[in-house]
Chain A
C-alpha cells in the first residue's frame, strides 16, 4: 500500500512562532489533503492542495494562517503560522492514490506553549 511520510512527527513550539509540516507520498498524486484532529473530535479538513494551483481552504481556515505549498506531485507542506495554544492538535496529510480512498500519514503532534 502507499506510504505517506510526515515530518516532524511531533513538536513543541512557542506561541507566536510558525512551524512547517512536510508530507511526502511515495507515488505521484493529483490531490493532497490536510486535516486537523483534535481529541474527541472528528477529522476536520483544512484544505485541499492540487499541484500547480492554489490550495482550496475550508470554512474557518485561511491562507494567512495555514499557507500550503504543493511544488510537485509527491510533496506538500502546511505551515501553521503565528501559533497560539488553540493550534495544539494533530495535523494529518492524506492523498488519494490510484483512485483508492484517501490514505493518511501518521500525523504531526503539535503542542503550543
Chain B
C-alpha cells in the first residue's frame, strides 16, 4: 500500500464548476499537508499548506484536512480554464515529503 493515494483522473469540468480533489494516506505521523499545482512543462508550485485538521481558505481555493479519516481535499470554486493543471497532494513528516501521483484537471470554457 502506497503511503499517499490520489486518483490520477483525468478530471474534466466546465468553467465555473466546483472541483473537488482528494487524497488519502496511511501514515499517522504526517504533520503537514500540502497541495501543489503543476502546469505542463513546469515544476510543482506550492498552492496551499496546513498542519491542522479543518479548513483553510485562499481565494477560490479551500484545503480541508481530516486527520481522523486520513483524508485531505482541495476544493476549487468558480473554476477557470487557467486552473487546468495537474494537482499534487503532499504530506510531510520529519522534514520529508511524500507525494500522491497527481490528478490531471482540465477546465473547459
State the Cβ distance, B98 to closest chain A Cβ, in Å: 8
Main secondary structure on chain A at its contact with chain B? loop
B34, A101: Cβ atoms under 8 Å?
A: yes
Q: Which of B44, B95, B99 contacts A31 (CB 8 A)?
A: B95
Give the contacts of A21-49 with B (CB-CB under 8 A).
31, 33, 40-43, 45, 48
Residues in A with CB closer than 8 Å to B32 are 101
Q: Which of B2, B6, B97, B100 contacts A102 (CB 8 A)?
A: B97
Main secondary structure on chain B at its contact with chain A? strand
In the complex, B60 has a CB within 8 A of chain A? no
A103, B97: Cβ atoms under 8 Å?
A: no
Residue of A nearest to B2 (CB): A42
B99, A43: Cβ atoms under 8 Å?
A: yes
B44, A43: Cβ atoms under 8 Å?
A: yes
22 contacts between A and B (CB under 8 A): A6-B43, A31-B95, A40-B101, A41-B101, A42-B4, A42-B88, A42-B98, A42-B100, A43-B88, A43-B99, A45-B96, A92-B43, A96-B95, A101-B34, A101-B46, A101-B92, A102-B97, A104-B36, A106-B42, A106-B43, A107-B42, A109-B41
Pick the 7 closest A-B CB pairs, nearest first.
A104-B43, A42-B99, A106-B43, A43-B99, A104-B44, A42-B101, A101-B49
